[in-house]
Amino acid sequence: MIVTAIFKARPGKETELRNELHGGASASWNESGVLGYYVHELIDQPGTFMNVEVYENEAAFQSHLETPHVKSFIGKLDDLLAEPLTVYQGKALFGGEFEGCSLTCRIPSLCDVYYRSSAIRKFWKESLLRTQ
């Protein structure tokens, strides 16, 4: 299961939101059933962040929502966000392992995720090519 969440910071709250997202990601990386948890800042919209979260299944996602760090973070969103949180949930229809993650991968954290979405694979492949 893949979850994508979009967070648009209130003006002046960008750093605080970035720090909260980093703390939440760090706490999530060791959760059972979390296969990948990545935070991005949109290139064309500074202060807008996108989480790409990969869970083993729906139960793992529901368990994640019940953790103290997620509940704490959700309680801060009214103060941090300029717009309501947008969340998309998806399930894999087809896909395969991202062939660009090899010994030459310059971003090791990207190499441990099984990318199930062709759009995500294309995005990461283009991003990796730009960094080489």
For residue range 10-30, what is the model confidence (pLDDT) as tens digits? 999 999 999 999 999 999 999
One domain for residues 33 and 60: yes
The range of the structural domain enclosing residue 129 comes to 93-132
The torsion of the CA quartet 44, 46, 47, 50, rounded to 10 degrees, works out to 40
pLDDT at 116: 39
- This model's pTM is above 0.75: no
One domain for residues 83 and 109: no
The pair of three-digit structure tokens given for residue 59, joined into one six-digit string: 């139960």
- Structurally, the chain folds into a number of domains equal to 2
One domain for residues 60 and 118: no
Q: At 36, which amino acid appears?
A: G
CATH number of 79's domain: 3.30.70.100
DSSP at 48: E
Judging by beta carbons within 10 Å of its beta carbon (0-12, 13-18, 19+), is residue 13 exposed, middle or buried? middle
- Confidence bin at 123 (pLDDT 50/70/90): low
Mean pLDDT of 104-126: 45
Residue 107 in this model has a pLDDT that exceeds 50: no
Q: When comparing pLDDT for 103 and 122, which is higher?
A: 122
Residues paired with 36 in a beta bridge:
54
Q: When comparing pLDDT for 59 and 110, which is higher?
A: 59
Mean pLDDT of 101-123: 43
Average model confidence (pLDDT) for the chain?
80
**8 A C-beta contact, residue 48 and residue 4:** no
One domain for residues 64 and 79: yes
Between helices 14-28 and 68-80, what is the axis angle to 10°?
A: 170
One domain for residues 76 and 106: no
One domain for residues 105 and 59: no
How many whole angstroms separate alpha carbon 96 and alpha carbon 118? 9
